[in-house]
């Protein structure tokens, strides 16, 4: 495992064999010959009240499509979490997850073809996220 800090606001743990691409707003992680993709973006709150994970997810779902709420079996201490999934025309599943702390919100997507259990590395990485801006 290796530690990564794709943005100044948080860090996470990733498998040693992970591939990465990061631009100014999105960090993407994948493994060679794997259909799973983990993408992350973050928003640091400078002032005003924080928007809840559920509200952020509801706003995303209003854009349209068929969504199903996802019950995540893991949590992160002191983090508000909400998740839902949808599928595209190519039968790729997209699970959108919002992780919200007082000063930080992270939007994650775990996308894959086939069974999501094949994405264990992505879920492990997602649940290893820790804020740096607290």
What is the CATH classification number for the domain harbouring 60? 3.40.1000.10
pLDDT of residue 81: 97
Enumerate residue ranges in the chain where pLDDT < 70.
115-117, 133-134
Q: 22 is in which domain, residue-wise?
A: 2-131
pLDDT of residue 79: 97
From CA 99, how far away is CA 77, in angstroms rounded?
11
Nearest to 38 by CA among 131, 123, 130, 129: 123
Q: What is the pLDDT of residues 73-91, one digit of tens each?
A: 899 999 999 999 999 888 8
- In total, the chain counts a number of residues equal to 134
Cβ proximity of 107 and 42 under 8 Å:
yes
Cβ proximity of 87 and 133 under 8 Å:
no
Q: How many domains does the chain have?
A: 1
pLDDT of residue 115: 64
């Amino acid at each position: 495992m290796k530690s990564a800090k794709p943005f100044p606001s948080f860090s996470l743990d990733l498998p040693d064999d992970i591939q990465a691409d990061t631009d100014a707003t999105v960090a993407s992680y994948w493994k060679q010959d794997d259909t799973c993709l983990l993408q992350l973006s973050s928003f640091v709150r400078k002032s005003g009240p924080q928007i809840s994970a559920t509200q952020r997810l509801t706003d995303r779902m209003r854009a349209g499509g068929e969504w199903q709420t996802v019950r995540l079996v893991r949590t992160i201490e002191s983090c508000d979490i909400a998740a839902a999934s949808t599928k595209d025309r190519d039968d790729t599943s997209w699970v959108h997850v919002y992780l919200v702390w007082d000063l930080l919100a992270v939007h994650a997507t775990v996308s894959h073809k086939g069974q999501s259990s094949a994405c264990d590395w992505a879920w492990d990485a997602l649940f290893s996220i820790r804020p740096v801006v607290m």
